Chain A
Amino acid sequence: MARAAAVAKPPAPPGRRRASATPRRLPYLLIAPAALLMLGFIAYPVLSVFYYSLRNYNPTKPWRNGFAGFDNFVHAFTEDPQFWGTLTFSAKWVVVEVGLQLLFGLALALIVNQTFVGRALGRAMVFSPWAVSGVLTSAIWVLLYNSQTGITRYLADLGMGSYGTSWLSDTSTVFPAAVVADLWRGVPFFAILILADLQSVSKDLYEAAEVDGASRLKQFWHITLPHLKDAIVLSTLLRAVWEFNNVDLLYTLTGGGPAGVTTTLPLYIANTSVDAHDFGYASALTTVAFVILLFCSIVYLRLSKFGGGDK
C-alpha cells in the first residue's frame, strides 16, 4: 500500500491533481471487469461442480435427485470399471504425448536455431501446424487414415497390404495413429517455446567451452540444457495440463472409440454429462480430475525444483 501511494503521486502542478486523485480505488476499478468475469464464469461454476458432486442430479430422472454424500465418489472408485479405464488411458496419453512432443520439439528447436540457408522459410513451415485447431487436425488425419483413399491405401499399393486398413477403427492401431496426429500439431508448440529461450543463451559461454575443448555434446549437456530447464519444466507442465483437459482432438478424431479404448477421463465426463445427463456423477468425476491435476502439478513442480537453481 505504501508504495502505491508513493508512486501514484507524481510531482504534478496542483490543478492537475485530479489525475491521481483516486489511486486507491483505481487498481480495483481496473481489475473489476476481469475479476467479475472470472468470478461468474470460472469460480462460480467450479464451486457448483463441487456442490453437484455431492448430489444425485439428473434432469431426466428428477425423482432421484437429492443429497448423495460421497456416493458418487464411492461409485467411481469401486464400481465403475470405465472410470479406471479412462483414467489409465488419460495417464498414458499425457505421458506419451508430452514426452514425445518435448523430445522432438527440443531436437527441432536445436536444428532451426542454427544458421543455414532458408532458415526463415524452414522455421515457418515446421511451425505451421501449431496454428491448426484440434478439429482441423482431426479432419486432416481422417483424410490421411481413410482406408479407401488415404495414405494407407497407397501403402497397400506399394505391397504393404497389411497396413492398408482403417487405422482409426482398429483397437490395435488407433492409439499410435492418434498419437501421431496430435504430435503433428504439438511438436511445434515445444519447438517455438524452446527456440525463444535458446536465443537468450549467452554466446560467451559456448566460446569459453570451445576454448576449453568441450565437445558439442558436452556443451549441450552442461550449457544449453541447464539454461533451458525452467522453460522446459513450465512448458511441459502447461502442455500436460492442456493435453489432459483437451477433448477437441480425440472427440472428433476417434470419438473415444473404437470400443472406448481412446476415451480420456474428460471425454468420459463430457459423455456422462451431455449424453447420459448424469450431472451429479459427472461433477464427481470432474472433482476427481481436478484434484489429480492439482496434486500431480504440485508434485511435479516440487520434484523438478522449479525456479530453484541459479536465479
Chain B
Amino acid sequence: MSTVEKAPAVAPAPESAVRAPRGPVNRRRAWDEAPRWQIYLPLSVYLLFTLIPFYWILLFALRPAGSTSLVPWPMTFDHFEKVWTERSFGTYFQNSVYVGLATLVLTTGVALAGGYALARFDFRIKRGFMLALLCSQFVPGALLLVPLFEIFAELRMINSLGSVIIAETVFQLPLSMILISNFIKNVPYSLEEAAWVDGCNRMTGFRVVVLPLLRPGLIAVGSFAFVHSWNHFLFALMFLNNQHKQTIPVGLNNLMSADSVDLGALAAGGIIAAVPVVLVFAFIQKWLITGFSAGAVKG
C-alpha cells in the first residue's frame, strides 16, 4: 500500500460528502440503487451483445480482403472507395439524402398544419379523422405495394424519387400529426390569445408564440421522418428500377443478393448507410427524450 499517494484522500470523499448532510436523500437511495453488481454485470453482458456486431462490421470494413485478423490492422479504406465508386454508393447516397430531406420537410410541414387544427379546433369530422389516423397504423405499407405501384405508374412517377418521397411521407404522417398536436396542446392557448390582443393575426401569433416552443417536438418528428425514410427499403426497391435512382438500403440489398457476397464491400456500405443516422441522433439526443416523453406519454 502506498500511503503517500493522494488517492485515499480523494476517492471516497465526493459521494459521501455531498450526500451525507441531507437526511431524506440517504433514505431515498435505498430503493433507488440496486447493488452495483446487479447493474454492471447484466449491463456489461448486454453491452457485449450490442457492441460486438458494431465491432464486427467495422472490422470487415477496415481490414484488407481475405484477412482473418480480429483487429483491423493494417487498416485499409479500399472497401469504402470501392463501394462508393464501383458500387454506385455515391449516387445512392445522394438519392437517399434527397428522399430523406424532402420527406422531412413534407412530413413536418403537413403534420404541423394538421396537428394545429387537431389541437386548437373542434370541427365536425375531427373524431372521424382521428380514428382514421389510428386505423392507418394497421395498414401495412408492404401490402399496398401493388395499388401504390399502379397509382405511381398512372402518375408517371415510377423511377422518380417523388414516388418514394410521397409514399414515405404518407406513412409517416399519422404518427407525426398525433405527436405534433400533443406538443401544441402543451402550449397554453392563452399565450396565443395574448398575441392576438397585441395585434397579431393567427398566422403571426402562431409563428411568434407557438413555433419557438415547438422546436424540440418538431426536431424529434422531423428527424424521425428523415431516419425512417433513410432506412426504409421496400418502397425504394419497388418504385425505383433504374439503378441511378436507387437509395442506400437498396444498394445494401444489392450487395447482399449478389452471387458472391463481397463482405468487405458490404461492411463498408453498411457503415456509409449508418453515418447520417448516427449524426442525426448525436445532434438531436438532448431533445429526443424530452420531446418524446412530452408528446407520447401524455397522449
Contacts and interface: CB of A to CB of B under 8 A. Distances in A.
A171 B279 CA distance: 38
A129 B278 CA distance: 10
A4 B121 contact: yes
Contact of A134 (B166, B170, B233): B233
B132 interface: yes
Contact of B51 (A16, A125, A197, A286): A125
Interface in B243-299: 249, 252-253, 255-257, 261, 263, 266-267, 269-270, 273-274, 277-278, 281, 285, 289, 292-293, 296-297
Contacts of A144: 52-53, 56
Interface of A: 1, 3-4, 7-8, 10-13, 16, 18-20, 23-24, 26-28, 30-31, 33-35, 37-38, 40-46, 48-49, 52, 104, 107-108, 111-112, 114-116, 122, 124-126, 128-129, 131-136, 138-144, 146, 149-151, 153-154, 184, 193, 196-197, 199-200, 203, 206-207, 209-210, 216, 219, 231, 238, 241, 244-248, 251-252, 255, 266, 269-270, 273-274, 279, 282-283, 286, 289-290, 293-294, 297
A45 B129 contact: no
B28 A207 contact: yes
Contacts of B200: 19
A273 B145 CA distance: 9
Interface string B157-173: 00000000011011101
Nearest to A22: B202
Nearest to A129: B50
B252 A135 contact: yes
A216 B32 CA distance: 10
Contacts of A13: 199
Contacts of B17: none
B207 interface: no
Contact of B143 (A139, A286, A294): A286
Interface of B: 27-28, 30-34, 36, 39-40, 42-43, 46-47, 49-54, 56-57, 60, 68, 70, 110-111, 113-114, 116-118, 120-126, 129, 132, 136-148, 150-151, 166-167, 169-171, 173-174, 177, 189, 193, 196-197, 199-203, 205, 227, 230-234, 238, 249, 252-253, 255-257, 261, 263, 266-267, 269-270, 273-274, 277-278, 281, 285, 289, 292-293, 296-297
Contacts of A24: 123
A45 B149 CA distance: 10
B113 A289 contact: no
Nearest to A28: B123
A200 B297 contact: yes
A290 B143 contact: yes
Given A19-B196, A34-B114, A111-B39, A245 B60 contact: no
Contacts of A20: 196, 202
Given A38-B132, A122-B43, 5 more contacts: A30-B116, A41-B167, A140-B270, A196-B297, A286-B143
A33 B277 contact: no
B270 A139 contact: yes
A133 B28 contact: no
B39 to A, nearest CB: 5
Contacts of B116: 30
A144 to B, nearest CB: 5
Contact of B140 (A28, A114, A266): A266
Contacts, number: 282
Is the contact region of chain A dominated by helix, strand, or loop, or is it mixed?
helix
A247 B142 contact: yes
A11 B190 CA distance: 12
B256 A248 contact: no
A116 B196 contact: no
Contact of B293 (A18, A31, A196): A196
A177 to B, nearest CB: 13
A132 B281 CA distance: 11
B50 A184 contact: yes
Tell which of B34, B141, B143, B171 has the most Cβ of chain A within 10 Å. B143
Contact of A116 (B40, B142, B230, B285): B40
A47 to B, nearest CB: 9
Contacts of A143: 56-57, 60, 263, 266-267
Contact of B231 (A111, A134, A282): A134
B113 A30 contact: yes
Tell which of A125, A133, A196, A270 has the most Cβ of chain B within 10 Å. A133
B146 A266 contact: no
Given A133-B230, A139-B269, A144-B53, A274 B31 contact: no
A4 B189 CA distance: 13
20 contacts: A1-B123, A10-B197, A16-B196, A19-B201, A30-B113, A41-B167, A43-B132, A49-B144, A114-B33, A115-B33, A116-B36, A133-B249, A143-B266, A206-B32, A210-B31, A241-B137, A245-B140, A245-B142, A286-B143, A286-B144
